[in-house]
A and B are shown apart, each in its own frame.
Chain A
């Protein structure tokens, strides 16, 4: 440019620029760019708006681990929403978390949806939420069946044990106390875990616990209408005739507690229990398997003698069957007698009487609604027939007593007051007491014996005896000796007299020989007379002439 300025003051005319005309449309084309940009922008806005689900508010006690814009809401580990903001509630008692649910999670803004914060938890029933140590806490969600729209929720402080739609059944157990159980405590069936404790709450009147449990399918069908539940927490140590027995469901229940159920053996109704069925939670397995006790009846007894060894809880026994237990032992004062009777309160379980109880109960009309009056009405004739309570010794070593109910045939008549509350059962001294009385009687009799006089008499008798003995020693015995010596001499002469060479013996032998000879002669005579009877008259004939020698010899030897 400067060159031209310098070289020519009046520059030559320059060629004009070439002018090109553009189509009108191509000029307008450029406006497509902002239009496209705007369309994209609007598209994004619409997309955002369309994908925006309901906004709900959840209140928690604390916002620990929650972060606005970051904390997610998850159902089955799928993100269904995001925490939008967290603020304190008006009264500062809790925090309100505002959550943007995604469009497809609109079903979670319904009346029975539940929300809780998933954060690491270390409890006796296990460790949960470990994953959130790294990822940070998130809000867990669970929805139900309801379609009723709800925007404001109260968050659960701990995860629910069962999420909606899990296969299985829910049951309610009625318990006296919860023991060491807690939410999430396991439920065992034959020592495998089949469910868990879901929730528990106290009755409105505070008398019983309602414990909700959930039993997973397929084990839920083992819960039958006759199933029994018991608290399997801790150690069950049993010492009985069979020895020492240790019972636990699992080591974990010793620490953390647990429940167990079973259907008692025997023919039972094994129909599966319905969902939400109610059961009683027993303290232990024995209690669970024992026949049901039913409603107890209260009785009172009045003992005049000491009841050392009778403790609260001692058995009440009727003909060997435990029908109740001692509930209280109190001391009373009888102003008239100036005595200290003991008042024993017992509970009786009528169902433990079995059929007897049923039959007797039928005898009494159920008309009166007053249990006490009914019981009095029932017991009165029995008392008349001799029903008495007795404190008996159950264990001779420890002296433990139990209360025995029995009919005593020779019981003294006692006035029964049917209006007394509670019903008072007459008593009779126990067997041990009677034994004691008898012993006392014996001792008394022994005591009455004139032992001193007897002793004195015995003493003088013994003195006389002594004197007599001395006399025997001094006078009688020497004479006795002399007598014996005499006797000995007599015996010696007797012996001499009967010895072989004694003259007596010789004479005797001679005499006998003479007698022998005489007897022979006599025989010869009788023989002769037998042959010659005439000789008695005629005399002996002259001897015949000798015929032969032998005959002569024979005759000659005989006489």
Chain B
């Protein structure tokens, strides 16, 4: 059985009765003031804005050089895709594929699918392939590893700076921002997107 009219606070386990929210309203726990849910419109707006920002930053992060090394007049710089391509040569192919998947494909899918779903949701419509998109959003979330990449870049900069001059390029900064944005997006409970749908449809889809 489900009680769609009830809501439980995640933090203090108290149960509250749902009430309809107008635009720009937030439902809070009466005991611990934690945010229980937002007006779907506000929630969608926030998420879409973040997703849009993430999309822009993703482009910057992939287009501009991540790291630039120079030694005795010889220098080299590469952006994310170039480094992945360099890694994929020869025996590093598998590592390269994994890196490509976790650093490029998954974040891209995350942003694209979420953006797709949100744009339609904001217009109070159900996006084509909504269920498919939502399922895949949930599945690929653990595989987004931009923060790991960022750590790797940091380690490389620290380790290499003793031997040659290393400069973090704009791509590294963009990646850092992208990591923050993706974390923020992932923190949002996309399940609320299901709610505007009728309970029946939702149940059907869940089965």
Contacts and interface: CB of A to CB of B under 8 A. Distances in A.
Interface stretch (B48-56, B93-101, B126-134): B48-56
B30 A22 contact: no
Contacts of B74: 134-136
Interface in A1-32: 1, 4-5, 13-24, 27, 30-31
Interface string A117-142: 00000000000000100111010000
Given A1-B8, A17-B36, A41-B56, A33 B15 contact: no
Contact of B17 (A14, A24, A30, A36): A14
A15 B16 contact: yes
A360 B19 CA distance: 131
B24 A24 contact: yes
B72 A135 contact: yes
A40 B60 contact: yes
B53 A17 contact: no
Contacts of B72: 131, 134-135
A135 B19 contact: no
A70 interface: yes
A138 B72 CA distance: 13
Contacts of B28: 17-20
B205 interface: no
B46 interface: yes
A13 B72 CA distance: 77
B148 interface: no
Most chain B beta-carbon neighbours within 10 Å: one of A1, A23, A34, A131: A34
Interface string A289-316: 0000000000000000000000000000
A37 B16 contact: no
A516 B15 CA distance: 218
A21 B19 CA distance: 13
B145 interface: no
Task: Give the size category of B's interface with A.
Answer: 35 or more
B30 A17 contact: yes
B16 A16 contact: yes
B24 A27 contact: yes
A20 B30 contact: no
Nearest to A26: B24
B36 to A, nearest CB: 5
Contacts of A138: 73
A20 B26 contact: yes
A14 B6 contact: yes
B94 to A, nearest CB: 27
B19 A16 contact: yes
B183 interface: no
Contacts of B24: 21-24, 27
A38 interface: yes
A4 B50 contact: no
A293 B59 CA distance: 79
Contact of A41 (B7, B21, B49, B59): B59
B29 A17 contact: yes
A14 B181 CA distance: 37
Given A30-B46, A31-B49, A70 B76 contact: yes
Given A17-B30, A37-B57, A134-B72, 17 more contacts: A1-B3, A1-B15, A14-B16, A14-B17, A16-B19, A18-B27, A18-B28, A18-B29, A21-B26, A22-B24, A27-B46, A37-B53, A37-B177, A40-B60, A41-B59, A44-B170, A138-B73
Interface of B: 1, 3, 6-8, 15-19, 21-22, 24-30, 36, 42, 45-46, 49-50, 52-53, 56-57, 59-60, 64, 72-74, 76, 170, 177, 181
23 contacts: A1-B8, A14-B6, A14-B17, A17-B7, A17-B17, A17-B19, A17-B27, A17-B36, A18-B27, A20-B26, A20-B27, A22-B24, A30-B50, A31-B45, A33-B49, A33-B50, A34-B50, A34-B52, A36-B53, A44-B64, A70-B76, A131-B72, A134-B72
